[in-house]
Each structure stands twice: as structure tokens, then as C-alpha cells.
């Protein structure tokens, strides 16, 4: 067996963080079609997304603190095993209830890579450098979720939606074996808190106003994106008449734009600074969300207008989110895992609430999607502007 590297490579961190987004995005084009296939309604089908996000959020609260105590590597291996099991259940699900159950299990496993990949970056780099590295990792791993809706749409039309989960299952198994053989531990035993002091510092993290500023900015920025995920398939396929594969191709606009934002963050975050990058990113997202509102009230909401507006939002999120994550996990570097878990929980929980709300309100108009996206983007920008002074006081 080859000698274990001293620290994880960029490639393995990319694979770990891509697992969760891949499982979300590959299934998007299939959601409207499940209404007929599994004899249910869109609100119930949407639970395959929103409850996936709930599972992703809740499990992050466990993975973060546990990894601070027991190390990153064992928790990642356990998570990947759970992810593969959930994917198998989804691929074989005979009813919508079993499918939703499989999605929750899949999410519980997939969240390990999302939260612990971030924590491993913070283990290896300082605050500003970690923002740049998170952006590089996000930029690289976006290739998978960027192509996922297109792949999922083609699977749906040619072979059926179950093959999307079979594909994800195989990817998860390959990554699990790779991690077993090549994933190094970054949080060594000398850094792990095994005493009551851990709980005291954990409470201290929750008392830090700067942590809340970063976390809630992340949460509302994510609410814009997940609101789009919850409503765009219905709007584009059911209201605008796109096919699942065409939806997947349009989604490439969003993914490419997010990569542009990530690339920008990766290149200049170290030089410009974390907080200015969040300001610029949330401002750009605000412009994109209100562009969508203008298209809607002008009765000019075409598929291109829908996805182009979200593309502008994605550029802003690509700049703001990696820096928001870096800010949150740097409030107390000793508790990077816990900080990643808590901020990840609220980020995904807000996303789940946003996507569920959008889907429950959609009937014959895109208005709920437009309103929730615009409101969330506005709040994210306002939180960062209002919280900037708090962050400065925390550092001084």
C-alpha cells in the first residue's frame, strides 16, 4: 500500500465537498416527473430536496464537534459509508416515502464531506489563506454539480431517474475507497480537546457576535440559491415547458457563473480581504435577485431571463460564500470543526426553509420564487453591512 501523505491533496478535498452538491443537483430535472411516476404531488416530491437539506443541516451539528474531538478522517469514512447506503435505498425506492427516507440517509452521510472538508482546510491554513483555498476547492468541485443536472436530465429521459442515484452510488463508493487509502488526518491528537474546556470554548463561540454575523449572512445568501433550486424545476419545466434535459443545459449558466465568482474569490481574497469580498459578493447577488424581479413584473420572464438572473446571483454567491465560511470558522480556530458544523447547519437549514416555502406556494405563477429570492438577497446584504462594525470590534 502506498505511504499515506502528510496532508490531504486538493483533489481529495474537492471530491469530498462535491459529493453533497452532486446528489442535490443531479436529481433536480427529475422532480416534476416524479408526480406521475410515484403518484404524488409536487409539494411531496419537493420533500426529497427540502428533507435532504434538513438531514444535511442537522448532521453537520454532529460531525463538526465530533471531528474536533476524534479527528476528521474517521468521521469522513463513516459519513461516506452512510452516503452509499442512502444512495442504494434511493435507487431501489418503490414509493415516495422510501425515496424521501433514502434521501435523508444520503444527506446524513454526504454532509460529512461538506463540513469536514472545510474544517480540514482551516486546520492547514490561516484565515485569509483558508478563504482562498475554500474558493479554489469550491471552484474545482463545481464541475460535478455543474454537469449534474445535465447528466440527471439525460438519465431521466433515456433510462429513468433511478439511474441518477445509481451513478451517485458508484461515485460515493469510489471516493470512500480513495479516502480509506489516501486521506490523511489534519487534526492530530495534540490538538483535540478531550476536557471540559471544549464545552466552555464551544459556548464561547456561540456568544461571539462576529460568528452570528458571518453565519446569518451565509444563511440568507444560501436561501437565495436554495429557493431557486426549490422552485426553478417547476417554473422551467411545468410553467415554461422545458424538458428535463433542456433544464439541465440551462442550469449550466448558473454553474459557470458560480465558478466565475469562486475563481474571483480564489484569486483576490487574500489580497482584498475577507470582509470586502463578502460586501462585493452580496451586492452582486442583490443586483441579480432584483433583476429577476424586474423581468417578472415586466412580463419578460423567459427561461433565459430566469437563468441569467440567477447567474448574476451565482457570481455574487461564489465570491461571498467562501469568504463567509472562512470568517465563521476563523472566529475561534480551536473550534474550526464546531464552527463549520454550526454555520453549515444554519446555512442549510435556511436553504431548506426557503426551498420548501417556494415549492409550497408555487401554483401557476413564478411570484413566490421571485419574492423569496429578492427578500433573501436583500437581507444577506443588509446583515453584512450592519455587522461589519461588530466584526471589526471582535478582531480588536
Cβ neighbours, 10 Å, residue 162: 17
Any domain includes 3:
no
Say if 1 falls within a structural domain.
no
Residue 2 lies in a domain: no
Per the domain annotation, does 4 fall within a domain? Answer: no
> In terms of residue numbers, what domain contains 162?
10-184+193-395
Total number of domains constituting the chain:
1
- On the question of pLDDT at 132 being above 80, the answer is no
CATH code for the domain of 346 = 1.20.1250.20
The region of weakest confidence among 23-32, 68-77, 175-184, 335-344 is 335-344
Residue range 204-244, pLDDT digits in tens: 666 778 888 899 999 999 999 999 988 999 999 989 999 98
Examine residue 367 and state whether it is found in any structural domain, yes or no. Answer: yes
Q: Please list, residue by residue across 281-317, b when 16 or more beta carbons sit within 10 angstroms of its beta carbon and e when fewer do.
A: bbbbbbebbbbbbebbeeeebebebbbbbbbbbbbbb
Give, in order, the Cα–Cα distances in Å from 123 to each of 79, 183, 193, 326. 19, 14, 14, 12
Q: Determine, yes or no, domain membership for 5.
A: no
d(CA 48, CA 148): 16
CB 74 within 8 A of CB 372: no
Residue 81 in any domain: the answer is yes
> Is residue 215 in a domain?
yes
pLDDT in tens, 346-393: 888 898 899 889 988 988 899 999 999 999 999 999 999 987 766 555
Amino acid at each position: 500500500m502506498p505511504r499515506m501523505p502528510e496532508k490531504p491533496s486538493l483533489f481529495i478535498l474537492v471530491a469530498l465537498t462535491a459529493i453533497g452538491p452532486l446528489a442535490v443537483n443531479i436529481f433536480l430535472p427529475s422532480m416534476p416527473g416524479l408526480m406521475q411516476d410515484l403518484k404524488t404531488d409536487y409539494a411531496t416530491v419537493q420533500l426529497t430536496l427540502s428533507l435532504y437539506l434538513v438531514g444535511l443541516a442537522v448532521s453537520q451539528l454532529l460531525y463538526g464537534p465530533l471531528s474536533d474531538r476524534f479527528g476528521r478522517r474517521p468521521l469522513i469514512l463513516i459519513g461516506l459509508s452512510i452516503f452509499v447506503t442512502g444512495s442504494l435505498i434511493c435507487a431501489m425506492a418503490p414509493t415516495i416515502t422510501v425515496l424521501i427516507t433514502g434521501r435523508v440517509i444520503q444527506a446524513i452521510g454526504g454532509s460529512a464531506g461538506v463540513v469536514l472538508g472545510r474544517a480540514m482546510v482551516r486546520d492547514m491554513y490561516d484565515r485569509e489563506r483558508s478563504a482562498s483555498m475554500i474558493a479554489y476547492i469550491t471552484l474545482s468541485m463545481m464541475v460535478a454539480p455543474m454537469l449534474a443536472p445535465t447528466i440527471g436530465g439525460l438519465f431521466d429521459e433515456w433510462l429513468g431517474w433511478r439511474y441518477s442515484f445509481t451513478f451517485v452510488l458508484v461515485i460515493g463508493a469510489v471516493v470512500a475507497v480513495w479516502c480509506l487509502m489516501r486521506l490523511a488526518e489534519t487534526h492530530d491528537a495534540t490538538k483535540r480537546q478531550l476536557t471540559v474546556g471544549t464545552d466552555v470554548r464551544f459556548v464561547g463561540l456561540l456568544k461571539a457576535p462576529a460568528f452570528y454575523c458571518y453565519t446569518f449572512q451565509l444563511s440568507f445568501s444560501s436561501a437565495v440559491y436554495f429557493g431557486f433550486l426549490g422552485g426553478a424545476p417547476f417554473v422551467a419545466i411545468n410553467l415554461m415547458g422545458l424538458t428535463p434535459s433542456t433544464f439541465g443545459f440551462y442550469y449550466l449558466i448558473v454553474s459557470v457563473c458560480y465558478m466565475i465568482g469562486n475563481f474571483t474569490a480564489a484569486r483576490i481574497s487574500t489580497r482584498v480581504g475577507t470582509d470586502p469580498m463578502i460586501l462585493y459578493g452580496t451586492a452582486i447577488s442583490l443586483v441579480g435577485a432584483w433583476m429577476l424581479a424586474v423581468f417578472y413584473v415586466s412580463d419578460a420572464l423567459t427561461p433565459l431571463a430566469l437563468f441569467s438572473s440567477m447567474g448574476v446571483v451565482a457570481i455574487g454567491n461564489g465570491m461571498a460564500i467562501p469568504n463567509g465560511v472562512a470568517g465563521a470558522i476563523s472566529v475561534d480556530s480551536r473550534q474550526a470543526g464546531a464552527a463549520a458544523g454550526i454555520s453549515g447547519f444554519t446555512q442549510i437549514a435556511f436553504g431548506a426553509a426557503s426551498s420548501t416555502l417556494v415549492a409550497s406556494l408555487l401554483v401557476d405563477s413564478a411570484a413566490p420564487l421571485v419574492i423569496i429570492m429578492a427578500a433573501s438577497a436583500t437581507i444577506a446584504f443588509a446583515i453584512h453591512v450592519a455587522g461589519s462594525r461588530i466584526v471589526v470590534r471582535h478582531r480588536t
